[in-house]
Amino acid sequence: MEYPPPPYRIKMVEPIRLLDAQSRLSRMKEAHWNLFNLNAQDIYLDFLTDSGTGAMTQEQWAAMMTGDESYANARSFRRFESAVREFTGLPEVIPTHQGRAAENILLPSVLGEGKYVVSNQSFDTTVGHILFNGKEPMDIVIDEGLDPSTDYPFKGNMNLEKLRGALEGENVALVTLVLTNNAGGGQPVSIENIQRVSEITKEYGIPFFLDIARIVENSYFVQQRELPEMSIRDIVRRTCQLADGVWMSAKKDAYVNIGGFIALKDKEGADRMRERLVLFEGFPSYGGLAGRDLEAIATGLEQVISDERIVEHRIKQVEYLHSKLSEIGVPLVKPPGGHAIFIDAKSMLPHIPPEEFPGQALACQLYIEGGIRSVEIGSLMFGREENGKFVPANMELVRLAIPRRVYEQGHFDYVVAIMKRLLEKKDEIRGMRIVKEPELLRHFTCTLDVIE
Ligand SMILES: *Cc1c(COP(=O)(O)O)cnc(C)c1O
């Protein structure tokens, strides 16, 4: 496929440097083979995450200069509030400093009696907050969503039969849908599925909220695959209307570096949340953000639904990298999602068993070969020991998350060239072992070594 022409040009640049091969190897050793330990300045291309790593427009930067930093009911808050209302169609707006802060305010206010928070696939910060509130996550994405080789158009959909089953058991505290399904490869959820979940939760009287970090990307896929006549603006609004409310990490589809919000229909519920907000975030008109941040988010939200080429270009960039890597024979999760590429390390490195972390081995080699940072999503992140026996993750993946408006064709072609070199010497890549690990979330801080 051809590279999509960008709907912008560049007038500010951030220099980046590629260390020589020897320095890259020694930095990797100094980082104990954990990419989270590398210094960002030693990385040439950083695909660790698309969260808060994007570039803003001149209008967003200009709006920041006009931020009203008054403590209560600043002009910037009123502008933010009306931008979020316009975006979601929901009346009650609560700013937070990022997505997980919204979870901290929202969950205790809406959780019912039951034990489970049912979702297509809760994101890891959400899982943390669910557990912290004494509940348990129950992920019921459709079977297609767990199979890396199928091309099903809405692999983020929820399994409706399982939803009914869970609700019949009368043990559900809340139902959510993540759009797109981040933990499941950025795969979209159809409007039809959201509509059905909405109807079923109403029937049982259970609250239903949407995690809309990537709702613009989800709406783009809905437009392409389900509702070609509708604008992305209208699809976003229609989606939000189907739930009791939404929460958003603005670090994704609002195209800013920090921020988030909750929006909902119920005024009483919102006022309960505002009480918690004052305790944990700040006064209800700023919620942990500066006036200038509120301005940047407002402008970002307005722009991304006014010009559909913004999200179209982003998703085509992801498709471009996916198609070029496929062409040279890199095994990938199909189809490409909204924000990232997932390499199937298990099939690329069949000589490395899951207990020797093929994903981590590949991610480290990507850095050593080309100064590229990615992240393992496999047995290092999700594997565990049970009765002294190793239990692997479902899949051994390496994720390249694409920051918004940051990299261009030359960068992507460079990734393809580096992967080509790695394919040629893949049989020499060795497995890894953990040297030291903490008790929880080990992938962030563990140290590793290469198995000789
Ligand atoms: C990033 C993200 C969050 C958490 O947001 P932060 O801004 O990182 O706190 C929650 N849900 C999803 C789907 C996300 O992608």
pLDDT in tens, 14-58: 999 999 999 999 999 999 999 999 999 999 999 999 999 999 999
Q: Which of 100, 94, 98 is nearest to 275 (CA)?
A: 94
pLDDT in tens, 319-342: 999 999 999 999 999 999 999 999
What pLDDT sits at residue 149?
86
Handedness of CA 314, 315, 319, 322 (dihedral sign): positive
Q: 178 by DSSP, 3-state: which? A: strand
Q: How far is the CA of 126 from the centre of ligand 1 (A)?
A: 8
As a whole number of angstroms, the distance between CA 371 and CA 46 comes to: 8
What pLDDT sits at residue 396?
93
Q: How far is the CA of 124 from the centre of ligand 1 (A)?
A: 8
**CB under 6 Å to ligand 1: residues?**
51, 98-100, 123, 125-126, 178, 182, 211, 213, 249, 251-252, 260
What pLDDT sits at residue 147?
86
Residue 436: active-site member: no
As a whole number of angstroms, the distance between CA 56 and CA 58 comes to: 7
As a whole number of angstroms, the distance between CA 448 and CA 33 comes to: 5
What pLDDT sits at residue 105?
97
What pLDDT sits at residue 146?
87
Q: Which of 218, 291, 244 is nearest to 92 (CA)?
A: 244
C-alpha 201, offset from chain centre: 25
Beta strands in 83-236 (DSSP E): 92-96, 116-119, 136-139, 172-178, 208-211
What pLDDT sits at residue 386?
85
Give the domains, in start order, of the chain with CATH numbers: 21-50+309-450 (3.90.1150.10), 58-306 (3.40.640.10)
What pLDDT sits at residue 207?
97
pLDDT in tens, 258-296: 999 999 999 999 999 999 999 999 999 999 999 999 999
Q: Which two tokens stand for residue 276?
A: 């918690």
Find the catalytic residue in 115, 124, 132, 351: 124
What pLDDT sits at residue 382?
84
Q: 247 by DSSP, 3-state: which? A: strand
As a whole number of angstroms, the distance between CA 117 and CA 102 comes to: 16
Residue 443: active-site member: yes
Torsions phi, psi for 94 (to 5 deg): -130, 115
- pLDDT by 10s per residue, the chain, length 452: 999 999 999 999 999 999 999 999 999 999 999 999 999 999 999 999 999 999 999 999 999 999 999 999 999 999 999 999 999 999 999 999 999 999 999 999 999 899 999 999 999 899 999 999 999 999 999 999 988 889 999 999 999 999 999 999 989 999 999 999 988 889 999 999 999 999 999 999 999 999 999 999 999 999 999 999 999 999 999 999 999 999 999 999 999 999 999 999 999 999 999 999 999 999 999 999 999 999 999 999 999 999 999 999 999 999 999 999 999 999 999 999 999 999 999 999 999 999 999 999 999 999 999 999 999 999 998 888 888 899 998 889 999 999 999 999 999 999 999 999 999 999 999 999 999 988 777 889 999 999 98
As a whole number of angstroms, the distance between CA 383 and CA 164 comes to: 30
